Amino acid sequence: MDLSRRQFVGTGLVAAAAFFGLPSIVSAATLEEAIAAFTGGAEAGSDGITLIAPEIAENGNTVPIEVDAPGAEAIMVLAAGNPNPDVCTFNFGPLAGRQGCATRIRLAGEQDVIAIARMPDGTFKQARQNVRVTIGGCGG
């Protein structure tokens, strides 16, 4: 198959866009949209919420995180640098022993992990933590 330089460059761009997940962003929410959908655009305070994530993760496939926001109705977790920023939302029921949860998440490279808690009075609290993701040894 003969490819002109222009065709080749074009194909490369499409491939690059596909690799970085750009087409899926058309349907998936951007970070701002995801946050707005949860907060309705309200400002978030920073007290009363804890986000624990490693400063350096040995592998982006399995990064342990934990969030806690005493009294919250729900906590949304976002990964700002992932192709799709949504990670999960914890909704706490009447028998929740605390308004917090630990889980393991995927991070596509160094980025901020964000947790936003929705409180019963309609206010929001936000925590943010940068996580560096280690590039593996010779095997990657």
Task: Note the residues at the interface with other proteins (CB under 8 A).
Answer: 21, 24, 54-59, 61-64, 66, 79, 82-84, 86-98, 100-107, 134-139
CB of 16 to other proteins, least distance (A): 14
Say whether 60 sits in a helix, a strand or coil. Answer: coil
- Between residues 11 and 45, which has the closer beta carbon with respect to other proteins? 11
CB of 5 to other proteins, least distance (A): 22
Residues 72 and 115: beta-carbon distance below 8 Å? no
CB of 52 to other proteins, least distance (A): 10
- Between residues 40 and 58, which has the closer beta carbon with respect to other proteins? 58
Residues 136 and 59: beta-carbon distance below 8 Å? yes
Nearest to 94 by CA among 120, 66, 65: 120
- Between residues 45 and 58, which has the closer beta carbon with respect to other proteins? 58
> In sequence order, what DSSP letters do the residues of 46-59 get, joined into one string?
-TT-EEE--SEES-
Say whether 134 sits in a helix, a strand or coil. Answer: coil
Structure tokens at 6: 């222009």
- Between residues 41 and 97, which has the closer beta carbon with respect to other proteins? 97
Q: Give the single-character DSSP code of 105.
A: E
CB of 18 to other proteins, least distance (A): 8
